[in-house]
Amino acid sequence: MLTRVTEGVFTHRSELLRNNTVVVRGAQGALLIDAGITGAEMACLAGDLRELGLPVVAGFSTHPDWDHVLWHADLGDAPRYGTARCAAAMRDLRSDPDWRARVTEGLPPEIADEIPLDPFGLITGLPAGTARIPWEGPEVRIIEHPAHSPGHAALLIEEHGVLAAGDMLSDVFVPMLDEATAANDPVEEYLAGLRLLEAAADGVDAVVPGHGSVGTGDRVRARIDLDRAYVRALREGGGADDPRIAAAEPGWEWVGGIHAGQLRSHARGLPDATPGH
C-alpha cells in the first residue's frame, strides 16, 4: 500500500526490517528510491503504481547494502541509478562466480527464498559529482557522503521538501558505521555525512529513513541531533542509553547487539577498539 508523504511523494513499506521505498511522481511516471525487499512486496508496489497510471521510469539505490539494490520484473526495465561507488561495489560483487551464494548467506533466513536475485545490484553508476537524478520529474538532488557505506547518497526532493535519507536518521536503528572499508575513520565519516544532511535540511518538511517511520517538522532536526549524539557517545564508550536501544520494541532487541559490536570496534580506549578511533 502506498502512503502519502506530501503531494507527489509516497512511501511503500516492507515489513520485516521496516524498509521504505520512496515513490516520486514525475511527468511521465515514477522514480523509485530503494525498491523494496521481497518479490511479493515489490509486485504489490508495481500493482499500486499501475492503479495510479504511473509506470516506473527510473530507480535509484541509495547505497550498496543488499536490501537497497533489489528489483522485480513487474517494475519494468527502467534505468536504475546509484553513485559511481555504489555501482562499482555491485559490479565487483557480481563479478564473483559465487556471488549468489555470498548474497544468500547474508539474507535473513525467513525471507531468503523470497528475494529475486536475477536483477540484484544491476545499478548504472552516475558520473562522480552528478548533482541531480536524470529524469523528467521534480528535481531530486543527490547528496553523496561518506557515512555508513561507500557511495551512500541521500536524495533531496526540493520541490516537495522531502529528504530520502537512506540508512540514516532512523527511529528504529542506531547509526551503523562503515565496518568494511579499510584505513578509514568511520566515526568522523559518519559525522561528516550528518553535517551534509544538516546543511540540506533547511526547507525540509519530512525525512524518510531507509528503515522506520517518516519524521516530519521538528523531528527532522531532532533525528540529526540524535544520530550525532549517538556517534559521539559511541566514540567515548557510551551510547547504550540511546532510545532506539533502551526502549526497543519486542522483537527489535537485536539493535542493542549492533551497538555492542560497534562499541567494541569504535570506542576510543577499549582494548579491542580500532587504533586511532
Indicate left, alpha or beta for 18 from its phi (over 0: left) and psi (-120 to 50: alpha): left
- The residue with cell 572499508 is 181
For the chain, the structural domain boundaries read 2-266
* pLDDT per residue as tens, the chain (277 positions): 999 999 999 999 998 999 999 999 999 999 999 999 999 999 999 999 999 999 999 999 999 999 999 999 999 999 999 999 999 999 999 999 999 999 999 999 999 999 999 999 999 999 999 999 999 999 999 999 999 999 999 999 999 999 999 999 999 999 999 977 656 789 999 999 999 999 999 989 999 999 999 999 999 999 999 999 999 999 999 999 999 999 888 889 999 999 999 999 888 744 444 333 2
Predicted model pTM = 0.94
Structural domain 2-266, CATH architecture:
4-Layer Sandwich (3.60)
- Give me the phi and psi of 209, to 5 degrees please: -80, 160
